[in-house]
Every structure is written in structure tokens, then in C-alpha cells.
Structure 1
Amino acid sequence: MKKFVLAIHGGAGTILKKNMTTDKENAYHEALREALEAGNDVLNKKGTSIEAVSVAVAMMEDSPLFNAGKGSVYSNSGKNEMEASIMEGGDLRAGAIAGVKNIKNPIQLAKSILFDDDFVYLIGEGAEEYAAKRKLEKAADEYFHTQFRKDQWLAAKGEGKVLLDHDADKKFGTVGAVALDIYGNLAAATSTGGLTNKKYGRIGDSSVIGSGTYANNNTCAISCTGYGEFFLRAIVAYDVSCLMEYKGLSLKEACDQVVMKKLVEMKGEGGLIALSSHGDFEFSFNSEGMYRGVVGSELSLKTYIYK
């Protein structure tokens, strides 16, 4: 059987061991492990990379530990407004959604759009209407409520600020996955709740194909996490692919060029996970840490938090 690989992330940022309790650290490792095992199970049973990344991301959306799905931060209106995108590297099909509320697993909605020839990107009420037609699972406001996120939002609102996932230790809690299946196809998926106290229907890079998510069988699959405005301006995910396709850079060289040079010069903090069509993977980030992990047919399951 040809080899398969799955890599995931649960956000990057100023993640320091001194700020982490043992219980919290263990909880993050366990959540990453569960997502990796679920996605790996799909690939091991000859499933597709699209199915693997969507399953892995949905598992992280179901955890209150990450800023996606259940753990999404509150917007200025006191609602959880989510975005997600998914792409496959064979014929460059993609699906993306933004500004959606009460969708239990935004990544499943994005995946549903990927298989629809009429659309790539849907937003707000239209995306929710589409989800209802596809009978995708909804969840009440209470499902998304966590006291930690509520307190964060109230503090941000009181100060009139828009905050990263939790500004005390500056973490970007976006979740994402990249996979290579036995058929040689790459896929990437990303999901987030965005910024705490965000206004005016603000959208980050996570739902934007080419900025937060990209997959091309000729080069790589990428899922990003960071301060979205910088990742949008730098078109990060596609830039890595372009450097490989047009300049002949290796996966590592391309990631370093974009994350450690281009983004740093722009003062854009964050990182990405990358997987080449040969099954090479990279965890590239210019922050103190990134929740991440990898598993594959020739790789034992490993999870990491710090640099």
C-alpha cells in the first residue's frame, strides 16, 4: 500500500510552558491525539485525504480547547461567528464558508460546498440556508457557550478591544489539517472562530482559499494559523506552493521563506502545517509554540506544543 500522512494544528502563538498547568497540557495532547487517530483511521481504511482532514478538523471543532466550532470566541454582538475552508489537490476543488452561526461543524459545511459545482464560497445567512438544505447538524447558542470565552469577551468589550484568541498568552486557536492519501491526493482544511470581540462581519484568512488553506498535488497542502490580516495580505498558503512550483524550492525552503522571512518582516505572527506530494511534512511557525501533531503509514503518532 502507498504511504499516507496526516498532520494537524490547533493554533500557534505565545504558548509558554510556564503558563501551562500539567492538566491543561495533557488535555491538549489528548485532544490532538484523538483528532490524529480519527483522521488516521480514515486513511488506514483507504479513505480519501478530503475525508481525513474533515474528520480530524471536526474532532477539534468538537473540543472546547480550540477556537473553532464549540470553542469559538465571541464576536462584538455576543455571538459565535465561524469560518472554515477545505481544498483538494487533484483538480483544485474547494469549499469555504464565513460568518456562520449555530453550525455545529463548519468544516462539514465547507466540505459539502466542495462537492457542489455551483459554489466555492458562501457567507452568513446564505451559507446557513445552504446548510439547512443539506441537513447539516445545527447547535443552539448554549452549545457554544464556555465561561472562559464569555469572560474573555466581556473583558475585551470593557476595554473596547479586539483580541486574539487569548491575548494574555497571545494564541491563535485556529485548527487545521493536511493529508496525503494512498491515491496520491493532497487535501487541506482550516476552521476558526476568529478574533474575540470582532466587529463589522470581520473575516480572517482561515476561510480564504490561497491565504489560510491551499492544496495542489503538484506541490503541497497547507493550513495556516496566525493573525489573519497578515496572512491575507501575504497570501501565505498559495505563496508556499508558488515558491515550490515556480522557483523549485523544497517544502522546507518555501515554508521558511514565507513564515520566517516574509511574515516576520511584516510583523505577522503565526505558522502553518505543510505536506508535500511526496509525504514530507513541515511545522513552520515564528511564534513561541504551536499545538500540532503528525501520524502516517510510516510515522508513529506524535504531538507537540512548544518550539
Structure 2
Amino acid sequence: MFKRTFSFLPTLFLVTLFGFFTFGLPTVTAQMSGNTTMQEAHEQKWAIALHGGAGYVSPDMPEERKARYMAALDSALAIGVDILEQGGSSLDAVEQTVRFLEDNPLFNAGRGAVFTNEGKNELDAAIMDGSQMNAGAATGLTTVKHPISLARIIMEESRHILFAGDGAEQFADQTTVERVDPEYFKVPARYEAWKRANEHQGYLESQPDNGWKMGTVGCVAVDKTGRLVAGTSTGGMTNKRYGRVGDVPIIGSGTYADDQVAVSATGWGERIMLNVSAHRLASHMRYTGASLNESMDYLVYELLNEGEAGFIAVDRKGNISMETNTGSMFRASQSEGGEKTVAIWK
């Protein structure tokens, strides 16, 4: 009995060892985290897309104004592209790109935020890291210069996801984010738009000739490691009621990222929320096997109504999709080895 047991143990050890090298190593070497293989990681290409709002913008826009928008979109894109080309993270690329747009009064975010019905500026932002399935968001900000940066800090340094109003401002007090006087956000052109909205006793978005309609900024990116990130920032709706919260800081509605796709929305916030739009696109890809473009078309042209929203998205393979059913969307994109796009109309 002892001899049989003794002779069996080395045999078992060799079989186990052989089995490990025969069956274990291919699994270890071929598979990384999630659904990304080593070969896919080696071939991973970066990609980035951004938007500056969707709505109706007349093609008769003065050339000088059009040139300013195109230059701003191009400059914002260059910031993200430079980070990704240098091997930087999609998280940094998204944050820095959105920060640039928040600083530009052409766009309804940060410096160019629209006014509430009380004549104030209330800012919202969200960011989501698909590799960690983590997110941060803030709404009702009044003194934070770059809401997207506060959203990132919320994601990385707090146990919570969304802070609102005074609570968001108090959380900002405990961080290093740059603060400004509320007067910083009061851009004359936005103030004039607010006065026109008051004259119509409603929201500026209800006016069919409104060229400022549905402004928001956003960015989505995938880096060389396959990390997908989405970020969105907005001043909301012109003449909105005090305390109104739109789609942007609602994770899954205006902002979403997972291990397959990153999505940022712009448009009529209430409609985007009711359809949980950003997550809806991601779910359509995951559960139907549809491509990014197919899922985007389903969301924009089948699920939503004409004139309601626009979206940008990138998938983990570096594919880019930018679509709107509103007639125009300020947008730009570029991928590794691909062409650069900067556009307003279809």
C-alpha cells in the first residue's frame, strides 16, 4: 500500500504540472482582463470624439462665427489627441478636452453657461470610467470653474457618485478645484438670450430659430490600453426652473461608459433621461451584438424623435460614431491612423 501510494504521488504531481503548462499557460498568456486579449491589447488604437452641443443652427451662420466654432472644436480635439498620442490615459484626455470647452464662452458649459429663470448660472457635469465601472457627477454648481474636474474628484476620492447644489459646493470646498465668483459665468450673449426667453415667457429651446439650442459639451475616448471614458458638462436649459436637473449628471442618461463603449449626449435632457439614452446604446450593443453604428442609428433614428438629441460614442476597437436628429451638432473626432473630422452640419 505504501509503495503504491508513494509511486502515485510523483505521477500525480507530473500530471498536474503537465496539465498546468498544457492547459493553464495558454489561458494566462492569451487572456488579460475582461474581454481584452493580449493580441487585441497590442493592436489597440486610441480614438476620441467631442461635441459642443446639438440643435438647430442655421447654415447661414456668418462665416466669421462659423470659423470661431470650427477653430475651437479643432483646438479642443488637439488637446485630447496629444494626450492619447503620447500614451496618456483616456481619463486625462476627456477631462482636459472638456475643460478647454468649459473655458470657451461659445459653448453652454462653464464660462458660457446659460441663465436660469432667476438670472443665475447652475452647472452640471459627469464623468465615467468604463474600466472601473465608476463615475462622478455634480449638479447645481455656482462657483466651480471646471465642473468636469470636480466630477472626476468625486469619482476618484469619494464613496458617492452624485452631489447636488449646496452639497456639491461644500464637497468642492474640501478639494483643490479652482473656484470663481459667480459673476465669472455671466457672458453677455447668454444674458441677452435669457432676456429673450423671458420675453417669450418660456424656455429658449422652444423657439425654432434658436441657434443656441441644447448646448452642452462632451468627450469620449479610448486609449492604447482599451480604457473607455465619457465626460459631459453643461449649463443646462436657458431659463430653466431653479433646481432643474437635466440628463448630463445622470449616469446612464447623458453620460455612460463600460468595457465596450463610451457615450456622451446632448439635446433635450428630459427626453434623453426618459430613454436612459447613453446606457440604451451600450445595452443595444451588448445584448443584440449590433455594431456601434447600428446601435447609434437605433437610438437616434428609431428610439428618439426628430429634433431631440445628438450623441458621440467610441467603442473599444477605436470605432467612432457621431449622430444627431436635430439638424446640426458641433463635433470633432480623430482616431489613430484615421482621418480628422471637424463639423457642424451633416
How does the TM-score come out when normalised to structure 2? 0.85
2:270 pairs, out of 226, 229, 236, with: 229
Percent same amino acid at aligned positions?
40
1:260-299 map, 5 Å: 260-264=301-305, 269-299=308-338
The alignment status of 1:144 with 2:185, answered yes or no, reads yes
1:98-247 map, 5 Å: 98-164=139-205, 168-170=209-211, 171-217=213-259, 219-247=260-288
Asked whether the 8 Å contact 1:165–1:196 carries over to 2, the reply is no
Give ranges in structure 2 of 5+ residues lacking alignment.
Answer: 1-41
Residue 249 (structure 1) shift:
1.0
- Residue type of the alignment partner of 1:255: M
- The whole-number CA distance in structure 2 between the counterparts of 1:270 and 1:134 is 34
- Residue type of the alignment partner of 2:332: G
Q: What is the SS of the residue equivalent to 2:224?
A: coil
Asked whether the 8 Å contact 1:61–1:68 carries over to 2, the reply is yes
Residue 39 (structure 1) shift:
1.0
Residue 7 (structure 1) shift:
0.5
1:162-185 deviations in Å (ceiling 9; x for gaps)? 222986335211000000001111
- The whole-number CA distance in structure 1 between the counterparts of 2:309 and 2:190 is 21
**Residue matched to 2:45:** 3
1:73-102 deviations in Å (ceiling 9; x for gaps)? 000111110101000111211001001102
- The whole-number CA distance in structure 1 between the counterparts of 2:91 and 2:206 is 27
1:201-235 deviations in Å (ceiling 9; x for gaps)? 10110111000010011x21000001000000000
- The whole-number CA distance in structure 1 between the counterparts of 2:136 and 2:67 is 33
Q: What is the SS of the residue equivalent to 2:344?
A: strand
Higher relative contact order (CA 8 A, sep 6+): 1
**Residue matched to 2:115:** 74
In structure 2, do the counterparts of structure 1 residues 166 and 94 end up closer, same or farther at CA, with 3 Å as the change threshold? farther
2:64 pairs, out of 23, 38, 55, with: 23
In structure 2, do the counterparts of structure 1 residues 109 and 3 end up closer, same or farther at CA, with 3 Å as the change threshold? same
2:291 pairs, out of 225, 250, 260, with: 250
- Residue type of the alignment partner of 1:169: N
- Greater fraction of residues in helix: 2
1:12-69 deviations in Å (ceiling 9; x for gaps)? 1112211x11111110011111111111111122111111111101100000000000
- The whole-number CA distance in structure 2 between the counterparts of 1:102 and 1:301 is 35
2:88 pairs, out of 27, 33, 47, with: 47
Q: What is the SS of the residue equivalent to 2:125?
A: strand
Q: What is the SS of the residue equivalent to 1:168?
A: coil
Residue 268 (structure 1) shift:
5.6
- The whole-number CA distance in structure 2 between the counterparts of 1:204 and 1:164 is 14
| Structure 1 segments (4+ residues) deviating >3 Å | none
- Greater fraction of residues in strand: 1
Task: Calculate the aligned-residue CA RMSD, in Å.
Answer: 1.5
**Residue matched to 1:88:** 129
- The whole-number CA distance in structure 2 between the counterparts of 1:107 and 1:210 is 16
- Flag the structure with larger Rg: 2
- The whole-number CA distance in structure 2 between the counterparts of 1:172 and 1:165 is 10
Asked whether the 8 Å contact 1:67–1:165 carries over to 2, the reply is no
- The whole-number CA distance in structure 1 between the counterparts of 2:206 and 2:258 is 30
- The whole-number CA distance in structure 2 between the counterparts of 1:106 and 1:165 is 26
1:269-298 deviations in Å (ceiling 9; x for gaps)? 111001111111101111111100012321
